Chain A
Amino acid sequence: MKIAVCAKQIPDPATPYALDPTTHFVVRPDDQVLDDTDRYGIEVGLQLAEAAGEGSSVTVVSMSPSGSLQGIRQALAMGADKAVVIDDDDLRGAEALTTARILAAAIAREEADVVIAGTESTDGYSGIVPQQIAEILGMPSLTFARKVEKTDGGIRIERQTGGGYDVVEAAAPVLLSVTSGAVEPRYPTFKGIMQAKSKPIDTLTAADLGVQITTQQQIRTVEPVPARQAGEVIEDEGDAHERIVALLEQVKVI
């Protein structure tokens, strides 16, 4: 089973970042990390490859116009076999549809049976790139999976719904988007980190993939939002509940 996992490199969410006042792009610190959301996709990919056995492979596919490979190495250290990185300055600030076209073209070259993505990225959270990829590649999309298992020739998932979950299945080739409740991602071992250094990383541009970069939306204005007035903060000395009761009375819910 050939598995492609879409994984994004993002600025470390722990470091503060802002919008460039003129380009409106997110100002990215040079250091990029693997989006935590995608560790779950990589884990699902590794588990499916293990279940499918001999001849299986996991390829990380990432559009990362940053020059950084730090997050990609994290993914390889977890156990992925190789990576395809699309690093092209013209893709900075790319819209979701361009991102999906790039990723789909790279995945098509890998002839993947199963494509895995997160449900939404931490910094972009449009939450539609996976479905766009599935449509471009003509695959069914088994999205919002909280549990994934291999079937004979395909995949079965538990799909989160507003009131519970559905069991949904489809034959390969198929795309999955996985939630962070699906699996517990493994931590890279020391051996994994060492091996990652020599794993193959293919670097491509948009032109290599024959993808046209389109711009269909435009930021018009950016302005600060008046912050909600913070109230009072008290230290509990054993009687804080009385203050809560008083407030509940005041707003008439009791």
Chain B
Amino acid sequence: MAFMVFADGTGEEAPAAALEALTKVASLGGESCVFHVGPASDEAFAAYGAHGASKVFHLDTDNALPSAQATAALADVCEVGDVLLFSMGNLDRDVAGRLSARAGVPVLANAVDVALQDGAVVVTNEILGGTTRVLTGSMSEEATIVIARPKAFPAEPSGGGAPEVVPVPVPDVGHAGSAVVTEHHVEESEGPDLEAAKVVVSGGRGLGNAENFAIVEELAKLLSGAVGATRAVVDSGWVPYALQVGQTGKTVKPDVYIACGISGAMQHIVGMKDSSTIIAINKDAEAPIFGLADLGVVGDVHKVVPALIEALKTRG
């Protein structure tokens, strides 16, 4: 059984999720290849090698949205019995879904762990807000697709050398491959990277409006932390999607997570529940966020947060 790790290389560096998956495969004692989509990157290829990949398949579709082409190309290089590991990113989900339909193989989604039991791939899911753990096994002899949650496993280099890089020609998939990317927009955010920051200060609908979000930003800055948000405020257009924490956003595990005016819906919690220390400020004593906070403050964010900002400023 061989493992194929999908890497969305349309961004800059070696995607962290691919390195996590490679580390997981190494711990299972498996052989792994990487399927890298996007511009060639020697830095990324070296990182894959260092994390255990022996071979990198490389596909670059220029300004075509890669989903359908990557699916066909990946199907060509895979072999019977392969396990394909994807993360939760957009391109990951596009290719995982399309490939499953193309090859008629199952997708085990939202995995927080992957293991092999009696030769079958078994994934762990945490459902119902993380209160229940389910183990699901693949019954497919052909291949199995796994979509793992980011940060489900740590990334650790195992000291492998440079992998063999195999360029893959762009397959012609007709109309299915006709989507074109005409513009890229990066929404710059200040401060440290949300996924790596030691402190994350997040804001929810309880802040009332987009202007009030400034107190979350100010608090984050004072603590040299990153700013996060709930989907409710992202969808309202207060802050960009890049700041969303949760099921369909980023997964964070900072030393301290401060939730301001956030109810604690289970789709938010899955993205931050593994933070070392959680502090929550919410005016509703019944808010579910208090169920996992180390320190819960029942109070008004418009009073508690400015007071906290003042106290931190005078502290110097």
Chain A residues touching B, range: 35 or more
A-B contact count (CB 8 A): 272
A234: interface (CB < 8 Å)? yes
Chain A residues touching B, majority SS:
mixed
Chain B residues whose C-beta falls within 8 Å of the C-beta of A223 in the assembled complex: 132-133
Closest A residue to B195 using CB positions: A162
* B189 nearest in chain A by CB position: A163
Contacts of B181 in A (CB 8 A): 166-168
Using an 8 Å CB-CB cutoff, how does the interface string of B178-212 with A read, 1 for contact, 0 for none?
11111111110000000000110000000000000
Please encode chain A, from 193 to 227, with 1 for each CB lying within 8 Å of some chain B CB and 0 for all others: 00000000000000000000011111111111101
- A140 pairs with B90, CB closer than 8 A: no
A166 contacts B256, C-beta separation under 8 Å: no
Contact indicator B132/A244 (Cβ below 8 Å): no
Contact of A222 among B107, B133, B299, B304 (CB under 8 A): B133
Contact of B277 among A96, A133, A247 (CB under 8 A): A247
Report whether A169 and B180 are in contact in the complex, using a CB–CB cutoff of 8 Å. yes
With A127-B109, A251-B277 known as contacts, the answer to whether A100 contacts B101 (CB < 8 A) is yes
Q: How far is the CB of A141 from chain B (nearest CB, A)?
A: 6
Contact A97–B255 (Cβ < 8 Å): no
Q: Nearest chain B CB to A219's CB is how many angstroms away?
A: 5
Residue interface mask B200-226, A partner, CB < 8 A = 1: 000000000000000000000001000
CA distance A217 to B117 in the complex (A): 14
Is B98 touching A97 in the complex (CB atoms < 8 A)?
no
Assuming the contacts A135-B101, A163-B187, asked whether A240 and B106 have C-beta atoms less than 8 A apart, the reply is no
Task: State the Cβ distance, B237 to closest chain A Cβ, in Å.
Answer: 7
Chain A CB within 8 A of B108 CB: yes
User: Does A139 touch B at the CB level, under 8 Å?
Assistant: yes
Min CB distance B148 to A, Å, is 13
Q: Which 8 residue pairs are nearest across A and B when measured between Cβ atoms?
A: A236-B299, A131-B97, A128-B97, A231-B294, A233-B296, A216-B106, A181-B235, A140-B179
Chain A interface (Cβ < 8 Å from any Cβ of B): 18-19, 24, 95-97, 100-101, 119-120, 125-136, 138-144, 146, 156, 159-171, 173-174, 179-181, 214-225, 227-228, 230-236, 238, 240-245, 247-248, 251, 253-254
A–B Cβ pairs within 8 angstroms, 14 of them: A96-B100, A131-B95, A131-B98, A135-B71, A162-B90, A216-B139, A217-B138, A218-B136, A236-B297, A236-B300, A236-B304, A240-B299, A243-B295, A247-B277
